[in-house]
Amino acid sequence: MKQLSELKLKLLDLLKEDARRDANLLATLLGASSEEVTEAIRELEEDHVIVKYATVVNSSKLDDEKVTALIEVQITPERGRGFEAIAERVYLFPQVKSVFLMSGAYDLLVEVEGRNLKEVASFVSDKLSTLESVLSTKTHFILKKYKQDGIIFEDPEEDRRLLISP
């Protein structure tokens, strides 16, 4: 793992806030030339530091009724490969959005998305829990997202107090 320059670290922070900023604006904010910024972005992409540019969607504003679940998974690690082999088998399922190796009471945290509760439950019972290394699962359905990736989804509440003047 190589050490990133201060320019690249600041650039990453700015891109995490808003990846749509162009090189000229980023250069102005960083006190660098647009060529330096463009080259730094290219290097970060080539080194797979920047893996993808993504949009954060507030799904509560859509008619889409998708269901998201977080699943705690306890597993038996494979000799010689540890958790890697089972993690790979899990993340290759198309329903799986994220997989994290965890410390604590369970080994993997798996984020799954489905069209409805039944589809997620079917995935857990038919695919995930039947994997040879899986000892147990515990599923938590997300009821509402308040904040994700630093973005607050709640609309600010209006101040409904009456104005009183002396």
Contacts 24+ apart (CB under 8 A), 53-61: 53/19, 54/19, 56/148, 56/149, 56/151, 58/145, 58/151, 58/153, 59/145, 60/144, 60/145, 60/153
Q: Is 101 helix (H, G, I), strand (E, B) or coil?
A: strand
| pLDDT tens column, 153-164 | 877 777 677 777
> What pLDDT sits at residue 49?
94
Read off φ and ψ for residue 149, nearest 5 degrees: 50, 35
Question: Is the full-model pTM beyond 0.85?
Answer: no
Mean pLDDT for 94-113 is 97
